[in-house]
Amino acid sequence: MKLSDLKIIVTGGAQGMGAYFATQLAAAGAKVAVGDVKEELLAALPAGIHRRKLDVSNEADVVAFVAWANEQMGGLNGLINNAGILRDGLLVKKDKATGAVTKLTTEQWNAVIGVNLTGATFMVREVVAKMVETGQRPGVIVNISSIARHGNRGQSNYTAAKAALAANTVTWSKEFAAFGIRVGAVAPGMIETPMTQGMNQKARDALVAVIPVGRIGVPEDIWLGVKFVLECDYFDGRTIDVDGGLSM
């Protein structure tokens, strides 16, 4: 699809990669609706972008947002499933000094699964349902997965969510083919965003040291992958790793 033909939702679009995607899409002539829980940051987006508070882990919020976006843009034919959070922690940890055993909390697990998997799934369900109801085709969905889907220490919750999202990219591409909707995924490596800036500095430095290209990625790197999925009508049901050659 041409970017200028898109009427597209970007979740988690108030900052970081999501804000970059939304800005690039709007500059290319697309109609864009952005949702994020950080409502106060939405005002910084360029003029012309539709914006509204959105908690993807809240089913009613998702349903209302999709209906609103469809009305604001005069239709809907795209989604970038970008909203995500981190609540890292080892599943089980033993303190070397005290011998105390701690566990990943239920709250840590549920928060990440709720946003990164359940919320992403709600978004796909509601966007596709709206497209089918209104007869809009063709359409395209881009899921933002992660190279952590291959497994990464201290990220049981995040790995589970991002692996499932990549797997369901295949599932949904098959389910939605009859509706003229393609589904692809982009899996970033370590990218300079507010989320990764909050990482432990020692862990961050160690990770950067093993990236073959020798640097942290930037949102523009991931946008190039997203743009390819949006524009290439022969791309479907696959995940593109954009990670600087990093192997976790």
Bridge partner residues of 181 (DSSP) = 139
Length of the chain measured in residues: 248
Distance spanning both ends of the chain, measured CA to CA: 33
Token code pair at residue 45 = 């987006």
Amino acid (one-letter) located at 188? P
Amino acid (one-letter) located at 61? D
Q: Is 158 labeled as catalytic in the residue annotation? A: yes
SS3 state of residue 52: strand
The structure tokens 């990770």 sit at 207
The structure tokens 């809907």 sit at 76
Q: Which of 21, 158, 172, 176 is catalytic?
A: 158
Active site members: 158
